[in-house]
Chains A and B, each alone.
Chain A
Amino acid sequence: MTTPILEARGISKVYGHVEALSGTNFDLYPGEVTALIGDNGAGKSTLVRILSGAEQATAGEILFEGKPVHLHSPTDASRLGMETVFQDLALAPHLSPVQNMYLGREVMARGLLGHLGFMDKKRMREGSRSAFDRLGATVRNLGGPVGAMSGGQRQGIAVARAAAWAEKVVFLDEPTAALGVVQTKNVIELIRRVSAEGIGVVFISHSMPHVMEVADRIQVMWRGRRVVTYRKEDTSMEQLVAAMTGALERVAS
């Protein structure tokens, strides 16, 4: 098999007295959709934050395209082509969808004006509109503050932003939690489209039907560790639920 585009080995994370991750492994291949599932508090979000540079592991190793990397900030991850929709979305509520889309990546005006710090608002507007259209996100007001929009609209903006900028890997931490039926379908469509471009997608969700619909592989976490990995065709919802509730561990020990 090819080398994973992203691999984590023995990642631990301790918060005070809480061990959120205890030596977990994880891997992702180019162009695949892998679902990361597990009970509440299993450590999924923590793992994603570490793999996307938002937090640093207490111990363990991260390999990107087979080479060890140190991710000190989300910018480091972005530079490698990895984008993330965090569970808390991380949008600036007072800024517009366009401003959120391009924050940190502003398109500057041409020539002297650009050097003086002026932006090309028109191009950013057009770029955002096409990104939102691609997702079918119901963003009604490209100029209004994101904070006044519905949870689903905000989620749509965050997903569209990640998908637009990612080149190698996208992390989606419960991207459909607040979405309507149609928007959820669109996100699933988008995941397929993104992975068809050769980008690896990590999809976290508590919805087993969605997981079974879109994932190629499913990695199950339980109490801070990956306990098992299944190929989609080799597993069933019952088996996933059992693994998530620690049935495998109880048998093993």
Chain B
Amino acid sequence: MSTASATDTADVAQVVEEPEGGRLRGLARLQVLQIVLLLFVTVAVFSILRPDTFLTLFNFRGILQNTSILAVLGVGMTFVIITGGIDLSIGSVLVFSGVVADKVMAAQGGQGWGTVLLGAGVAVLSGLAWGLLNGFLVAKGKVAPLIVTLGSLSAALGFAQIITGGLDLRDAPRKLVDKIGFGNVAGQVPTLAVIAALVVVGGMILLHRTRFGLYTYAVGSNAEAGRRVGVNVDRHLIKVYALAGLLAGFGGILNLAFFQSTTIGGQSNTALNVIAGVAIGGTSLFGGVGTVFGTVMGLFIPIVLQNGFIQINVQPFWQQVVVGAVLVAVVYIDQARRTAAVRGGSRPRLPFLSRSGSRTRKETE
């Protein structure tokens, strides 16, 4: 070896190694930290203003319950958005799955666990089917995710209304409502929250520890780079949309448990609320960056605000205004930092507006 490369190797050896980190990921973490802080401050302010009603176990249980279903949906949405996609259909898929599950459970009869399990299975499979359809159209049909899922948003709700004639069904078995919708684990912890926590932890492990998670980031970062090293990008996209659909279907049975109704007319904003939570939580709509933990934090903010506003007698509608402002502010700050961190290249177009994997990020400057 020449002296030049010997010195250079020495050079490499002496540089400090930062095990995990780096500026982009550091930024993502910084943003999550920011949101945790914001959440903490919000909770603190309301607690000081209304220590008697806000800062109570009863109230916190309510907040947890209200966030649970959104968190389950948020896990799937985080994966989709990291691939550079979007899924507008999850609210409708949730309704559709709830309707089909309700029908099946009513036909089966019975109020026990057997019926509940059957219903849950049916809901999950219905959601999975919609997710597979979304994924297939995005990956193989090369239709923009925004359009595909806008289509299934409309179609899934339409089917739900055709099946029910537009009237909500209310055939949730007693066990489902009592044990899951309003049940508690270990005395005071809502079962719904425990189930959501399990899904969230599962999602974190899947995203950060497994090959599935790595491919999710890779597809969102540079699909062409993945393809060239043998990652089956299309198949992975299908799996990711399938996961989002499956979780929306699971949300359908949880929704039935909590509201004892299929809430056909009540889910038109669900997907948008979840997307807002994902974005507030630091997942980039440009793909390649994001965390499940951030999403959960991002979802808590609107719920806590709404809850708190009611208690301090501010019209709860202000929550929507504040959340809108927070969303834009957070994403603005995030983008400004990111642009400063990654040199070169113009801002890419939002990927979910274009065909999947059609873009290659230029590596050369």
Contacts and interface: CB of A to CB of B under 8 A. Distances in A.
A143 B214 contact: no
A154 B342 CA distance: 13
A4 interface: no
B5 interface: yes
A54 B211 CA distance: 24
Contacts of B12: 132-133, 136-139
B218 A103 contact: yes
B5 A185 contact: yes
B346 interface: no
A91 interface: yes
Contacts of B13: 133
14 contacts: A73-B230, A74-B230, A88-B362, A89-B364, A90-B224, A93-B222, A93-B288, A94-B220, A94-B287, A106-B211, A119-B211, A136-B12, A158-B363, A189-B1
Contacts, number: 156
B209 interface: yes
Given A74-B228, A143-B22, A148-B24, A94 B212 contact: no
A139 B13 CA distance: 10
A78 interface: yes
Contacts of A1: none
Interface string A137-171: 11111111101100100100010000000000000
Interface in B227-268: 227-231
Interface string B119-154: 000000000000000000000000000000000000
Contacts of A178: 364-365
Nearest to A52: B228
B315 interface: no
B4 A104 contact: no
Contacts of A84: 228
B52 interface: no
A108 interface: yes
A100 B218 CA distance: 9
Nearest to B210: A117
B114 interface: no
A54 B23 CA distance: 31
B359 to A, nearest CB: 12
Nearest to B284: A94
Interface string B321-351: 0000000000000000000011000000000
A92 B24 contact: no
A174 to B, nearest CB: 9
Interface of B: 1-2, 4-5, 7-9, 11-13, 15-25, 206, 209-212, 214, 217-218, 220-222, 224-231, 287-289, 341-342, 360-365
A103 B364 contact: no
A105 B229 contact: yes
B21 A141 contact: yes
A-B residue pairs, 9 tightest by C-beta: A144-B22, A104-B229, A94-B288, A89-B363, A117-B210, A92-B221, A94-B221, A136-B8, A75-B230
A101 to B, nearest CB: 10
A74 B224 CA distance: 11
A141 B26 CA distance: 12
A95 interface: yes
A182 B218 contact: no
Most A-side CB within 10 Å, residue of B9, B11, B289: B9
Interface in A179-213: 182-183, 185-186, 189
Interface residues of A, number: 52
Contact of A145 (B24, B224, B229, B365): B24
Contacts of B22: 96, 141, 143-145, 148
A138 B14 CA distance: 10
A99 interface: yes
Given A90-B228, A138-B11, A145-B25, A154 B209 contact: no
Nearest to A114: B211
A116 interface: yes
Given A116-B210, A138-B15, A103 B226 contact: yes
Given A74-B228, A118-B210, A141-B22, A95 B218 contact: yes
Nearest to A185: B4
B232 to A, nearest CB: 9
Contacts of A142: 17, 19
Contacts of B227: 73-74
Contact of B18 (A95, A104, A141): A141
A149 to B, nearest CB: 9
Most B-side CB within 10 Å, residue of A74, A96, A117, A183: A117
A136 B5 contact: yes
A177 B363 CA distance: 12
Nearest to A186: B5
